[in-house]
A and B are shown apart, each in its own frame.
Chain A
Amino acid sequence: MTSLVPGGNAPVATGSITVEIAYSPIPGADIDVSAFALAESGKVRSDNDMCFYGQPNVQGGAVQMADASSGRAVFNVDLSRLEAAVDKVALTATIHENKASFDRVASLKVTVSGGVEAQIPTSGMKETALILGEFYRRQGQWKFRCVAQGFAGGLAPLATHFGVDIADAPAPSPAAAPTPPPAPPAPAKSAISLSKVTLDKSRSSISLEKTAAGFGEIRVNLNWNRGKSGGFFGKSKAIDLDLGCLYELQDGEKSVIQALGNQFGELDYEPFIKLMGDDRTGAVAGGEWLHINGKKWSEIKRILIFAFIYEGAPDWKATDGVVTIFVPGQPEIEVRLNEEGGRLGCCAIALLENDNGAVKVTRRVDFHSNQEPMDKAYGWGMRWRAGSK
């Protein structure tokens, strides 16, 4: 067994290897272990190069997160199958929301099958995000180097280091998507916030693989700051956001679902999408809901989720709008409307596409004066006429 100290390196086996990261959990703070496939520049080429809880399988299966439980994470890595452009695979550990620094982790150890191990000295470490080590190419051979350095500022500077821009949103980025421990030693935490994937500028899409049981009911929620008190931004007028979608079915059928014109859709029949009622005031907790019958996903080609400001000034940033997509058995997917939309009243938020049976969700957040130009921008090709609620 080769024991590495920070800065040390050793050759590793070329074929399929297993990497285990074992650590002492910190009560009340989750540790997320991720892997980044990096190009020669030391940066990721795209979001698809990040292997984490929300995307456990990257590089065509060459990097897989096989296990992630409290105190342990396991990756299966086949270095010989990595794309040629991948120069390094960095292993990282991050403490969710910087709730503690790594000096609280009594023991942190990386073991690479084939006889390489590295005990990370955590004593006195102020970092909340660590590069544990990296696999790298050296003269045609793969080696592992123990790095044990990171960032006190946590995931954001770490992600920037790897070429991923983190938006200023307060929500955790995907790499922070923590792992719900199956048997947590600490009191049970909210399962919802524990499994969240935020789509933002740095990571704009995610693909949910088809499962044998289908997707169940996919629920899309739009929630926003109603501005009802009038005090927050000095506005007296409530903001009313309408949730809607453009859809296209595999058979070519396409239309819009929105409160405007009472086009609420159907769940059990085409289009298998239903708007669950309009909340004009936003006073009902939970905002607006759109449901998609996931069992019929195979019949759906694509869905463009949008929000429309029916009344009130279209100050999109001030709405604090959040669209959350719930798919049973999958992490929540969150998209924030945290961009300027000018005076345009219609925001295309997310595109759900049937990608060979998988649900591919792509963040959009682009703005249009109304549904018609949005339709044109996305090539939906419908004819529009004015309507009212």
Chain B
Amino acid sequence: MALSLSKGGNLSLTKTDPSLSKLIVGLGWDPRVTDGTEFDLDASAFLLSSTGKVRGESDFIFYNQLKSLDGSIEHAGDNRTGAGDGDDEVLKVDLSRVPADVDKVAFTVTIHDAEVRNQNFGQVGGAFIRIVNEVTGAEVVRYDLAEDASTETAMIFAELYRNGAEWKFRAIGQGYAGGLKAVANGYGLEFA
């Protein structure tokens, strides 16, 4: 039975599922049911060093850069509408291949063109992130964060982080205004 965390909660993945090495990060949300512009939500991952910043542009895994250089993180691609069962976007993580100078991996979801479309996370229902053991198919941990956002257009859903030799998972649920650009800036990426 998978554990469900609340905002701020954390869990040792290594202790919970010692066999865990290759994992699937599934992120989901409910598609819009009323009329109006569709929501296009994008999941991204940031490989962060001990400073909390990316080491370079290649540490930013998103719809235009689906794979990290070391192959530790792979984005399965964009789902434009959130339709379909279960996870709306999926990233695969191979913990054994995460470089030693990467301290944590943050997973974010941002609303594409949120300002133009007048959209925010308070209008997105059923948002969650979950970790599934890719080998066994078992769900290890889950965080439902629908209520932890309101008018923000970007959310850090959760992060995987090293604690000594083990990997832990923390439910973040931290929202930002300003979309993907603001989140990426926060992690030390500058755009022209």
Would you give the shortest CB distance from B148 to chain A, in whole angstroms?
Answer: 10
Would you give the shortest CB distance from A242 to chain B, in whole angstroms?
Answer: 46
Proximity bits, B32-59, A CB within 8 Å = 1, else 0: 1111100000000000000000000000
Would you give the shortest CB distance from A133 to chain B, in whole angstroms?
Answer: 11
In the complex where A7-B121, A7-B123 touch, is A153 in contact with B151 (Cβ < 8 A)?
A: no
Q: Is the Cβ of B120 less than 8 Å from the Cβ of A6?
A: yes
Q: Is the Cβ of A7 less than 8 Å from the Cβ of B35?
A: no
A8 interfacial contact with B, CB 8 Å: yes
A149 interfacial contact with B, CB 8 Å: yes
A147 interfacial contact with B, CB 8 Å: yes
A289 interfacial contact with B, CB 8 Å: no
Q: Which of A7, A138, A150 contacts B34 (CB 8 A)?
A: A150
Cβ–Cβ < 8 Å partners of A146 in chain B: 122
Cβ–Cβ < 8 Å partners of A121 in chain B: 118
Cβ–Cβ < 8 Å partners of B33 in chain A: 161
Q: Is the Cβ of A149 less than 8 Å from the Cβ of B150?
A: no
Q: Is the Cβ of A147 less than 8 Å from the Cβ of B123?
A: yes
Cβ–Cβ < 8 Å partners of B147 in chain A: 9, 138
Cβ–Cβ < 8 Å partners of A147 in chain B: 123
Q: Is the Cβ of A149 less than 8 Å from the Cβ of B122?
A: no
Q: Which of B32, B36, B122 contacts A8 (CB 8 A)?
A: B122
Task: Give CA–CA (A5, B121) in the complex, Å.
Answer: 12
Would you give the shortest CB distance from B175 to chain A, in whole angstroms?
Answer: 11
Task: Give CA–CA (A7, B124) in the complex, Å.
Answer: 8
A127 interfacial contact with B, CB 8 Å: yes
A175 interfacial contact with B, CB 8 Å: no
In order of increasing CB-CB distance, the 9 nearest A-B pairs are A7-B122, A7-B120, A149-B34, A7-B123, A152-B35, A8-B150, A151-B35, A8-B151, A7-B151
Task: Give CA–CA (A356, B36) in the complex, Å.
Answer: 47
A104 interfacial contact with B, CB 8 Å: no
Cβ–Cβ < 8 Å partners of A138 in chain B: 147
Q: Is the Cβ of B35 less than 8 Å from the Cβ of A127?
A: yes
> Which positions 1-49 of chain A face chain B at CB distance < 8 Å?
5-9
Q: Is the Cβ of A9 less than 8 Å from the Cβ of B35?
A: no
Proximity bits, B115-136, A CB within 8 Å = 1, else 0: 0001111110000000000000
> Which positions 94-152 of chain A face chain B at CB distance < 8 Å?
121, 126-127, 131, 138, 145-147, 149-152
Question: What total of chain A residues lie within 8 Å of the partner, measured CB to CB?
Answer: 20
Q: Is the Cβ of B35 less than 8 Å from the Cβ of A150?
A: yes
Q: Is the Cβ of B122 less than 8 Å from the Cβ of A131?
A: no
Cβ–Cβ < 8 Å partners of B36 in chain A: 126-127, 149
Cβ–Cβ < 8 Å partners of A7 in chain B: 119-123, 150-151
Cβ–Cβ < 8 Å partners of A153 in chain B: 35
Cβ–Cβ < 8 Å partners of B34 in chain A: 127, 131, 149-151, 161
Would you give the shortest CB distance from A42 to chain B, in whole angstroms?
Answer: 9
> Which positions 57-72 of chain B face chain A at CB distance < 8 Å?
none
Task: Give CA–CA (A157, B36) in the complex, Å.
Answer: 13
What are 7 contact pairs spanning A and B, CB under 8 A?
Answer: A6-B120, A7-B120, A8-B122, A9-B150, A127-B34, A149-B34, A150-B34
Task: Give CA–CA (A208, B120) in the complex, Å.
Answer: 43
Q: Is the Cβ of A126 less than 8 Å from the Cβ of B35?
A: yes
Residue of A nearest to B120 (CB): A7
Cβ–Cβ < 8 Å partners of B150 in chain A: 7-9, 145
Residue of B nearest to A151 (CB): B35
Would you give the shortest CB distance from A298 to chain B, in whole angstroms?
Answer: 47
Cβ–Cβ < 8 Å partners of A145 in chain B: 122, 150
Q: Is the Cβ of B122 less than 8 Å from the Cβ of A9?
A: yes
Cβ–Cβ < 8 Å partners of A149 in chain B: 32, 34-36, 123
Task: Give CA–CA (A9, B125) in the complex, Å.
Answer: 13
Cβ–Cβ < 8 Å partners of B151 in chain A: 5, 7-8
Residue of A nearest to B153 (CB): A7
Would you give the shortest CB distance from A160 to chain B, in whole angstroms?
Answer: 10
Residue of B nearest to A124 (CB): B118
| Most chain A CB inside 10 Å of its own CB: which residue of B35, B123, B147 | B35
Q: A7-B119, A149-B123 provided; 20 other pairs, C-beta below 8 A?
A: A5-B151, A6-B118, A6-B120, A7-B121, A7-B150, A8-B150, A9-B122, A9-B150, A126-B35, A127-B36, A138-B147, A145-B122, A145-B150, A147-B123, A149-B32, A149-B35, A150-B34, A150-B35, A152-B35, A161-B34
Proximity bits, B136-180, A CB within 8 Å = 1, else 0: 000000000001001100000000000000000000000000000
Cβ–Cβ < 8 Å partners of B119 in chain A: 7
Would you give the shortest CB distance from A6 to chain B, in whole angstroms?
Answer: 6
> Which positions 92-115 of chain B face chain A at CB distance < 8 Å?
none
